[in-house]
Homo-oligomer: A and B are copies of this chain.
Amino acid sequence: MANKKHTDHFRRERQALNDLVMKHANTGIKRFFNLDTQAYEPGALDKRTKELLGLVASLVLRCDDCVLYHLIQCKDAGIGTEELTEALNIGLIVGGSIVIPHLRRAVKAWEELSSTPPTP
């Protein structure tokens, strides 16, 4: 638990900045944020598949914050390490070696997310 420092910091910072964006946002920006949330809600595809799609899209576009967000969602959705690794492998093949620095940080974050003992 105590070792989830990086991801916990990310969650708080992300929330604080989202609040700031909403404070200034016009209707268009607010609606975009809603559409973004809705796109990952389970439908014909389940939550797990959708989060993996968001993860790989974020990895090939090389956005660390987006990758970390979807890693957290993947962990919450019960994705296992072997499944995650295969998804990262696809992102690496599609996006090439330029993806590697983001892959490194993704694996580090995944290890942090995976190291938390279940709450009693």
Cβ contact of A54, chosen from B14, B26, B35, B94, cutoff 8 A: B94
Q: Which residues of B contact A14 (CB under 8 A)?
A: 104
A77 close to chain B: CB less than 8 A: no
Tell me, in angstroms, the Cα distance from A33 to B97 when the chains sit together. Answer: 8
From 58 to 100 in chain A, residues with beta carbon under 8 angstroms from any chain B beta carbon are: 58, 60-63, 65-66, 80-83, 85-100
Q: Which residue of B lies closest to A26 (CB)?
A: B85
Judging by beta carbons under 8 Å apart, are B91 and A20 in contact?
A: no
| 14 A–B pairs (Cβ distance < 8 Å), ordered by A | A24-B81, A24-B85, A28-B38, A36-B100, A44-B80, A45-B83, A45-B86, A56-B56, A57-B95, A63-B98, A63-B101, A94-B96, A94-B98, A96-B98
A107 to B108, CA, bound (A): 29
In the assembly, what is the distance between CA of A44 and CA of B37, in Å? Answer: 27
